[in-house]
Structure 1
């Protein structure tokens, strides 16, 4: 019972940290990108990951956690796919309308459910599926505006969804398979993620914005916000691994949509972004879905806990589920890439 309460408190703490840090970084990046016109999102993400690695290296040196080696091929593949996933999500926004990009993000949950069902033999009850449907409907109402389709944008979105889903599934399964903490996994993988984006970032940003990150005028105010964004990103990256490790990739995506609604609300209250009754209705519907999802997850978790003693003997004879699709991790922050050099005032909040 004590372990169960400790796990629940740890999970609540991880969820809270994820929400607070993600909303904070979006607000910080809105100021950085919309007000100060630093619109190089992929390069900024690579700096986030590099700072995260450095901070974790210091934490390791101070013995805040122990280094637990993992198979190098797994870690390298994991890190590189993370970087590819982030780059594809940014390209998806760059080559699509904001509305279609939001559809891409909504597609991640059903895609994750499908992949876990097919390859990890995981089952989702009708109640869970219903609550997810209500949540996605609400987020769609609140965030989706125009739906302009093009072949290249659609293809990039498809790749972004698949790589992100596989990445987040691997974040969960690799922690369980190798019995390592989120901190240990993040420390070993984020350098490869950062290297992937450090190499590709300037080219992607040039392609999407038409501007060169190296020729940007870095005045003191811009530097302060970049440093602040990188510091907040440490918490974002850590909480992402923590949430997926303690819960599931689907729960992390549900939390992501909750953060989208919170960002919309904060944008209206703090920044004065335009807000309509459709936004309000969509957020309320999404919150209903979120509450139902949380309730059904709690009920089913309690049932599994009660049934666990009876299943212990059966588990001894069962083999591990297929883990051959493990290649990557998820998107680590809510930075948005513009289609053009000129940003819409609320584009990075909605995306």
Structure 2
């Protein structure tokens, strides 16, 4: 449920603070996607105060973080690797200081009291290595596309996890799960189609503007003089006003 709420919350934040416009087609396709993922993944829903507070904070932090990741890369023109290199030390420091206390608050167990065997440490190192790859791909996808597109990709991952869980691990799978996954995939297809179509329109509009400006400049060039001042009206060759000064003096004696 928390993951499903991230896309609507992201759209609201980008609309309010960044004046970004989402077409009705994009919104409709996202609604189909969220409906499908909800049918496939949401089963038992139990709410409590602590979990609800953490869920709201998670939604807000995720949305703001992903929006800032996209905006920083675009405005400062930095790559995902550069941004990850600059932000990772601060993220690591915050987690190192707050992580053990939050973990103890939620689980009632001290993380340092655990018996860390060689096998456990090996899996922790493996998990951290995978996390680094996930962070890199996250920054890369968000910087190249958008936070909403990244969340759509995340829902695709959810559908794949459910599918492979049934195929490989033989997890329980019902007609509801199948219907939800099919609806979600259909919504992803609609979102991809409308996103590509709108991106193509923006690209064509961006290309047509300089071409139109060049055509206007070319059409107005004969009407301007050497320094950009308007040229005199065209005169016929036998016009007295168009004659050079020497020719005029021959007729007028001046």
TM-score if structure 2 supplies the norm length?
A: 0.79
**Structure 1 residues 209 and 271: CA distance shift in structure 2, 3 A:** farther
Deviation at 1:255, TM superposition (A): 0.6
Counterpart pick for 1:305 among 203, 208, 230: 203
Establish whether residue 117 from structure 1 lines up as the match of residue 15 from structure 2.
Answer: yes
Aligned position for 1:242: 140
Deviations 1:203-243 (CA, angstroms, capped at 9, x unpaired)? 12222222222121222322222222122222111000000
Aligned position for 2:251: none
Higher relative contact order (CA 8 A, sep 6+): 1
Counterpart pick for 2:103 among 205, 222, 230: 205
Aligned position for 1:174: 72
Aligned ranges for residues 28-177 of structure 1 at < 5 Å? 103-177=1-75
Deviations 1:105-150 (CA, angstroms, capped at 9, x unpaired)? 1111011011111111111111111110000001100111122233
Rounded to whole Å, the distance in 1 between the matches of 2:166 and 2:91 is: 34
Aligned position for 2:177: 279
Aligned position for 1:222: 120
Deviations 1:283-330 (CA, angstroms, capped at 9, x unpaired)? 1111111111111111111111111134569xxxxxxxxxxxxxxxxx
Aligned position for 2:167: 269
Deviations 1:74-133 (CA, angstroms, capped at 9, x unpaired)? xxxxxxxxxxxxxxxxxxxxxxxxxxxxx1111110110111111111111111111100
What residue ranges of structure 2 are gaps of 5+ in the alignment? Answer: 212-254
Bigger-Rg structure (1/2): 2
Rounded to whole Å, the distance in 2 between the matches of 1:280 and 1:186 is: 37
DSSP-derived class of the 2:22 partner:
coil
Aligned ranges for residues 290-301 of structure 1 at < 5 Å? 290-301=188-199
Deviation at 1:157, TM superposition (A): 1.8
Counterpart pick for 2:152 among 244, 249, 254: 254
Rounded to whole Å, the distance in 2 between the matches of 1:244 and 1:142 is: 25
Deviations 1:40-92 (CA, angstroms, capped at 9, x unpaired)? xxxxxxxxxxxxxxxxxxxxxxxxxxxxxxxxxxxxxxxxxxxxxxxxxxxxx
Q: What's the RMSD between the two structures over aligned residues?
A: 1.6
What residue ranges of structure 1 are gaps of 5+ in the alignment? Answer: 1-102, 314-351
TM-score if structure 1 supplies the norm length?
A: 0.58
Aligned position for 2:250: none
Rounded to whole Å, the distance in 1 between the matches of 2:168 and 2:134 is: 21
